[in-house]
Structure 1
Amino acid sequence: MPPTVLVIAGNDPSGGAGIAADIQAITAAGAHPAPVITALTVQDTVNASAVEPAAPEFVAAQAEAVLADMPVAAVKIGLLATAGIADAVATVLARYPAIPLVLDPVLVAAGGARLAEEALVDVVLDRLCPLTTLLTPNALEIRRLAPAAGDTAARAGSLRTAGCKWVLAKGGDEADEGRQEVVNTLYGPGAPRVFRWPRLAGGFHGSGCTLASACAARIALGDPVDTAVAAAQALVHTWLERAFRPGRGQLVPLRRPA
């Protein structure tokens, strides 16, 4: 029986990101997704134009129903949209401290539209970071979460001090990484681990959701965090190599079993 990953995220009607990406990635990586919807969005492969959050108590009730019904082996969080939703989710998950949590701190759509209110950052730092096994911020997100720190290593250290056990700092959108490769760095116990991947042409919709969900699936399957991160990146790189363009905008990873 595949292990269950509780996925808490918003819906993207294009199917490129959000809960659809999570479901596809977790399934392709060998686990069973149990999706909890936090928000509806008006979104396509170009950008997002509207977000309609669910009531915090309704999001919490969805998660509680899953946790009461089945053994959850990992939790993946994506778009939370509001501080109220984040607070409600933290209250539920605090009762399950043994379940590994992968947090992808979604703040802005790939096209640049803001998806979360400003107050969400404080709740992520104060209530969710202490519960987080693996945080997977991109360059913009790590700067928003740790604005006072210096370089990426200092920002990751700040987030680990806030409670995150591991931080995977993604470099796909870093201009100074050059055109030839993407550099992702995993900060945790011991020395940082650097992953270098050939930079693929084009922009991708849902790559962050996909990677965080693949990490959660590998952790649910029993991998240690550093092993899960390495395996998930390799899997996602393959999906990005196969990416297709279903609409007018960005490419979408082809999330299929290896």
Structure 2
Amino acid sequence: MPARPLILSLSGHDPSGGAGIQADIEAINALGGTPATLVTCLTVQDTVNVQALIPIDAALLERQARTLLEDYGVAAIKIGLIGTPEIAAVIGRILALAPTTPVILDPVLAAGGGTPMAGVELIRSIRTELLPRTLLITPNSPEARRLSGRESLDEAAESLLALGARSVLITGAHEAEERVTNRLFRPGHAPGTLNWPRLPGQYHGSGCTLASACATLIGLGLDLEQAVEQAQGYTWRALDQATRPGRGQALPNRLHQNRGPQ
């Protein structure tokens, strides 16, 4: 029987269902992939904010990954919430087991409610352990500035490329602009820009949705530019059809389509 591409997600568990592993599973399935998952952290959170983060034992995570990758290959790897420098180091070793597999990194540095999710040591580990193996990193503008130490987003992108990322997609929802502008940076190319109507309200799991969509579409064989453009369209539609079940942010409707890439 024909196989759907297997997309490996490494991220945290969000009990609210808005972000993390559940978001990845929904987006990967909706776009035609098969999700495999490695949970990096447990969290105590709701749609308002993260109250606690409990990292998974790093040795257990590595054992799970090795067992999984001995069984089958994966078409793409998506990395979200990491949690600790020790887990970042384990993820670096996991990536070494699949050296040709495209890696999409969503650098989760803070929760939507503002709780910090990464300290100085973890940021250093992301820069040294993970960026050199990354095909595409998808920071929002505050994450791009914090990872790079640069205020200008153009300079931030250049810094992340210099650290080893092969492409950088900086999302602009946090910027004070009428429309949301997302920009794709690649060496030797002019920045690619896509503008989206700004939707009202705040959303929980938009970054997870976008990165997982990029990973799935790349795993399906689309080139980087096509995958990034289609992933943004899929994510915007998921946000446009979001629901607000709790007191805080709205949750994207990632299952608004189940027909594969459009």
Aligned equivalent of 1:76:
78
Query: What count of residue pairs does the alignment treat as equivalent?
Result: 254
Aligned equivalent of 1:246:
245
Q: Where does structure 1 differ by over 3 angstroms across 4 or more consecutive aligned residues?
A: none
Q: Is the 8 A contact 1:39 1:80 kept in 2?
A: yes
Q: Is the 8 A contact 2:78 2:215 kept in 1?
A: yes
Q: Secondary structure at the match of 1:119?
A: helix
User: Distance in 2 between the 1:53 and 1:191 partners?
Assistant: 39
1:166-218 deviation digits (Å, cap 9, x = unpaired): 0000101112xx2x310000001311100100000000000000000000000
Taking the TM superposition and a 5 Å limit, the aligned residue runs for 1:208-219 are: 208-219=207-218
Taking the TM superposition and a 5 Å limit, the aligned residue runs for 1:44-123 are: 44-123=46-125
Distance 1:241 1:150, change over 3 A: closer
Q: Secondary structure at the match of 2:182?
A: strand
User: Distance in 2 between the 1:12 and 1:22 partners?
Assistant: 11
Taking the TM superposition and a 5 Å limit, the aligned residue runs for 1:6-17 are: 6-17=8-19
Q: Is the 8 A contact 2:170 2:183 kept in 1?
A: yes
Q: Secondary structure at the match of 2:83?
A: coil
How far the C-alpha of 1:114 sits from its partner, in A, is 1.3
Alignment root-mean-square deviation, CA: 1.0
Q: Is the 8 A contact 1:83 1:117 kept in 2?
A: no
Q: Is the 8 A contact 2:145 2:151 kept in 1?
A: no
Aligned residue identity for 2:93:
T
Q: Secondary structure at the match of 1:214?
A: helix
Q: Is the 8 A contact 1:104 1:137 kept in 2?
A: yes
1:82-138 deviation digits (Å, cap 9, x = unpaired): 000001110121232200000000010000011223311011111100000000001
Aligned equivalent of 2:183:
185
Q: Is the 8 A contact 2:69 2:97 kept in 1?
A: no
1:67-91 deviation digits (Å, cap 9, x = unpaired): 1111200000000010000011101
Q: Is the 8 A contact 1:86 1:123 kept in 2?
A: yes
User: Distance in 2 between the 1:42 and 1:163 partners?
Assistant: 33
Which runs of 5 or more structure 2 residues have no equivalent in the other structure? none
Aligned equivalent of 1:166:
167
Q: Secondary structure at the match of 1:71?
A: coil
User: Distance in 2 between the 1:62 and 1:53 partners?
Assistant: 15
Which runs of 5 or more structure 1 residues have no equivalent in the other structure? none
User: Distance in 2 between the 1:61 and 1:13 partners?
Assistant: 24
User: Distance in 2 between the 1:154 and 1:183 partners?
Assistant: 16
User: Distance in 2 between the 1:150 and 1:211 partners?
Assistant: 23
TM-score (structure 1 length as normaliser): 0.96
Q: Secondary structure at the match of 2:75?
A: strand
Q: Is the 8 A contact 1:102 1:136 kept in 2?
A: yes
User: Distance in 2 between the 1:71 and 1:55 partners?
Assistant: 24
Q: Is the 8 A contact 1:6 1:63 kept in 2?
A: no
Q: Is the 8 A contact 2:145 2:152 kept in 1?
A: no
How far the C-alpha of 1:9 sits from its partner, in A, is 0.2
Taking the TM superposition and a 5 Å limit, the aligned residue runs for 1:144-163 are: 144-147=146-149, 149-163=150-164
Most deviating of 71-80 and 89-98 = 89-98
